[in-house]
Amino acid sequence: MNKEFIPKLFTILKEGITKEQLVKDLVSGLIVGIVALPLAIAFAIASGVSPEKGLITAIIAGIIISTFGGSRVQIGGPTGAFIVIVYGIVQEYGVNGLTIATFMAGFIIIGLGLARMGNLLKYIPYSLIVGFTSGIALIIFSSQVNDFLGLGLAKVPADFIEKWSLYFSSYAKVNWYALVISTLTILVTIYFKKITPKIPGSIVAILLSTLAVTFFNLPVETIESKFGEISNHFTLPVIPHVDYETLKSLIQPAFAIALLGAMESLLSAVVADGMIGGRHRSNMELVAQGGANIVSAIFGGIPVTGAIARTATNVKNGGRTPIAGITHALVLFAIMILFASYAKLIPLSCLAGILIVVAYNMSEWQQFRSLLKGNRMDIIILLTTFFLTVFFDLVIAIEIGIVLSSFMFMKRMSESVNVEAITTDSRNAEYLFDNELKELPRDVLIYEINGPLFFGAARQFQETIMNTNIKPDTVIIRMRYVPLIDATGFQGLKEIIKTYNSRNIHVILSGVSESLLLDFEKNGLFSVMEKDMIFKDISEAIKKSREIKDAARI
């Protein structure tokens, strides 16, 4: 079996785990489970679904991703990045639509893994990632203002501008108790770790605020007042029915979930690798992520991915094997079974404070500011993705961001392709110092191509070669630094050869590798030139040009 499709846990169990490491993994799993509790509930509520769905998702993701994933320390679960997509899907298609979209996304992610796309997803530009991540952070912050201020608005618009217009028009409804709880939650969450890093500040904030609201009967909204009881059992598994019309309407949201989930999970795995000095199996990680999304959907959960903050917490607390991730899921399961009835007392303003801290941490404002000082192309990608995420839609932002990044990359690549002319009269440094070129006959012109001859550079290549005032008898196109040629490049090369043939100018190709020679045959290049005009090195090509010149004299 290919090693890249073997889960890390299986490899680690085969190698063996020391007793000391097992204890560290169990302790780390306990801590991460406690950290994940308020986040799972908060992400579910912010996404527009019931709190227990967040817990169910975290439990399922924790077990499946840790058991079958390609990372030693990855912690899976719901994340803040999905809030925007999930909330939008729930608003437009309902919870059933979300279940189907998550189910479909799982198969898409598995497909990406089996197609070995894991490595390709790592090449998404950093400016695009920062752009949509910062945009998501701003949207999460905006979505929590209602509960943060205790405005008590029954329905908040999804549109960014409409949302803030409603907030400003409702300033008189501010609940000062809720505002104080939210503010204190932020302060405790941020600063409590300085007192004791082992105990999450968010848990302390939840305990204190829940006790205060319950004991003093403070007039603030709680999970119970808005959602009722929190169920302490799993829903029965149901495979969603997907017909053609549903598939057609939800395919775009499903792809958005899949792409975002794949990107975030691999980004988290890369960050974890840097922390532990390891190397994850990206394609196995994608297969596990896809499976986790499918099972989450079957049990009524929401989308899952690798959670960077929880993964980092796992590493910092000594977790080094997937046992920690499985333990974190079991801790959440125990809390759900034993303490779900108490979780309903948590004030929403406290959860809003926790999510605002999450939004700040994922905003990457320092990187955002740094990129604004960078090159123009990165700035365009950054700002385009950011504003499309905030004012339009995350799906559109990712799609346009990737397309824009691709065009920018192609432009850069086309600019990097260099075509240089060399003749016996050339003062080119390579000609002056290359002994092979000393034998170059007069009336022979060499074009040296540096870079890939693809569709982005084909036009420039043609124009450079054809727009010369030199009238040679023979042209040698030197291709030793051409790593690849695509269909457009081949077409351009054929047109150049045809044009020279019509002018009775001989064309010789040199520096042609075996792989390029095979591509020449596949793309029909030999229909416009003879195979004996193609050579591996320049000395043979120059020798051929002399033979042509000598034959012309006879």
DSSP-derived pairing of the beta strands 474-481 and 506-510: parallel
The contacts of residue 171 (CB under 8 Å, 6+ apart) are none
Which CA distances in Å does 78 have to 26, 46, 265, 457? 21, 11, 11, 43
In the chain, the amino acid numbered 401 is: G
- What's the whole-number average pLDDT of the chain? 88
- What proportion of the chain, given as a percentage, has pLDDT over 70? 95
pLDDT of residue 433: 45
pLDDT of residue 451: 84
pLDDT of residue 76: 96
**Rounded mean pLDDT, 414-420:** 76
pLDDT of residue 11: 94
Per-residue pLDDT for 241 more than 70? yes
- Of the listed ranges 104-108, 118-122, 176-180, 259-263, the one predicted with least confidence: 118-122
- Specify which of 49-53, 287-291, 468-472 reaches the highest per-range mean pLDDT: 287-291
Rg (CA), the chain: 30
At 434, the pLDDT band (50, 70, 90 cuts) reads: low
At 407, the pLDDT band (50, 70, 90 cuts) reads: confident
CB 172 within 8 A of CB 151: no
**Rounded mean pLDDT, 544-548:** 88
HEC assignment per residue over 309-344: HHHHHHHHCCCCCHHHHHHHHHHHHHHHHHHHHHHC
HEC assignment per residue over 353-365: HHHHHHHHHHCCH
CA distance 290 to 490: 39
**Rounded mean pLDDT, 472-499:** 88
pLDDT of residue 1: 54
- Specify which of 118-127, 235-244, 265-274, 467-476 reaches the highest per-range mean pLDDT: 265-274
pLDDT of residue 429: 45
Tokens linked to 40: 């799972």
Higher pLDDT, 107 or 397: 107
**Rounded mean pLDDT, 159-167:** 91
Per-residue pLDDT for 211 more than 70? yes
Higher pLDDT, 441 or 127: 127
At 122, the pLDDT band (50, 70, 90 cuts) reads: low
At 319, the pLDDT band (50, 70, 90 cuts) reads: very high
CB 350 within 8 A of CB 210: yes
Quickly count helices (H) and strands (E) in the chain.
22, 6
Q: Which domains does the chain have, with CATH numbers?
A: 30-146+157-228+251-408 (no CATH), 417-553 (3.30.750.24)
pLDDT of residue 316: 86
- What proportion of the chain, given as a percentage, has pLDDT over 90? 45
Per-residue pLDDT for 262 more than 70? yes
- pLDDT tens readout for residues 32-75: 998 899 999 999 999 999 999 999 999 999 999 999 999 999 99
- Of the listed ranges 341-350, 415-424, 495-504, the one predicted with least confidence: 415-424
Burial class of residue 184 (count of CB atoms within 10 Å of its CB; 0-12, 13-18, 19+)? middle
Per-residue pLDDT for 361 more than 90? no
Supply the DSSP string of 15-47, one letter for each residue.
H---HHHHHHHHHHHHHHHHHHHHHHHHHHHHT
CA distance 179 to 193: 22
CA distance 381 to 386: 8
Higher pLDDT, 305 or 271: 305
At 425, the pLDDT band (50, 70, 90 cuts) reads: low
pLDDT of residue 285: 96
HSE-CB of 330 using CA atoms within 13 angstroms: 14
CB 246 within 8 A of CB 359: no
**Rounded mean pLDDT, 458-471:** 74
pLDDT of residue 432: 44
Which CA distances in Å does 532 have to 334, 509, 543? 76, 10, 12
The contacts of residue 257 (CB under 8 Å, 6+ apart) are 82, 85, 101, 102, 105, 293, 303
At 546, the pLDDT band (50, 70, 90 cuts) reads: confident
Per-residue pLDDT for 424 more than 70? no
Q: Residue 443 — left, alpha, or beta (φ > 0 → left; ψ -120 to 50 → alpha)?
A: left
Tokens linked to 16: 């063996």
CA distance 61 to 78: 8
CB 348 within 8 A of CB 147: yes
CA distance 97 to 106: 14
